[in-house]
Amino acid sequence: MDKVLAKQLLFHGSWLVLPAIAWLLWRWRRERRYRPVLGVLLLGCGLFAWARFIEPQWIRVAHTELPGTGMQVRIALVSDIHLGVYKDRRFLQRLVARLDTLPVDAVVIAGDLTYEPQRLVLSEAFSPLSALRVPVYAVLGNHDQQAPGPDIDAALRAALRANGVRIIEGMRFTDADGIRWAGLGDRWAGKDDPRFLREAPGHLPAIVVAHNPDSAMDLLPGDAAIVLAGHTHGGQIRIHWLYRKVIPSAHGFDRGEQVAPAAAGPVRVFTTRGVGEVGLPLRLFNPPTIDVLQLRP
């Protein structure tokens, strides 16, 4: 079976849990003898319904202070939007509307904008981003560059540029407010070589945007004031004894602020849990999150 079709069947077939809950409630009311078993089944179905229909649509805003970066700027960080088989343009419209209410200086998208996007018209799907009133900086992720998924690198870049997004992979620049920025490409695609960061003589640390937080392991402390990343989803389904086994990081990155023990010295990393889903169309104890980061000198 085509993998996209299989995921669509999973996505739409999961609605069957709702009549299952109704049937279990009917049985629970009529058959006292089996109430303990029916209660456990109801709890399981209810948890599944929450993880499938409610939590993935709940957009949370989390605020974090990050002193000691050498810069004064407020950033809205999102990642792993994953438009395609599970998320669509309507979700992105809601995300953009929420972002536009936040008093930030820039929006950063740390990769993985798509997930099985074969049926998307990319320029139309990402058109809500054009409504953002502050600069939007982005890098691409593994799902955008065939690891896994179709390689839509060029088409996605064109669609993002057409909607006002600046793709900053492989570049280092200073914006109009004096904030230093840089971007790394995807690690799984072999595009996160950081040597360009050191080419400018006397360079100062920048805010480095990367998709995979593991990219921080190749940086020097002088390269980055902080690395902003995504990719891990914070485990997506955050069941304590399970989620760490599925986080796609070779160096133990999870979510929030951590320090990368890079060979040349520690590098600060902030990993957002993302707003989309891959694999299963579920989120549990780990809602889609916009991280508002207040960087301070």
Kindly report the pTM of this predicted structure. Answer: 0.95
Q: What is the DSSP string of 242-254?
A: TGGGT---TT---
Low-confidence ranges of the chain (pLDDT < 50): none
154-188 residue pLDDT tens: 999 999 999 999 999 999 999 999 999 999 999 99
Fold of 59-295: Purple Acid Phosphatase; chain A, domain 2 (3.60.21)
25-56 residue pLDDT tens: 999 898 888 899 999 999 999 999 999 999 99
When the pLDDT of each residue in the chain is averaged and rounded to a whole number, the result is 94
Question: Which residue is listed with tokens 């937080």?
Answer: 213
Helical (H) or strand (E) element with 100: none
Per the CB < 8 A criterion, the answer to whether 275 and 96 are in contact is no
Q: Name the phi and psi angles at 229, rounded to 5.
A: -140, 175
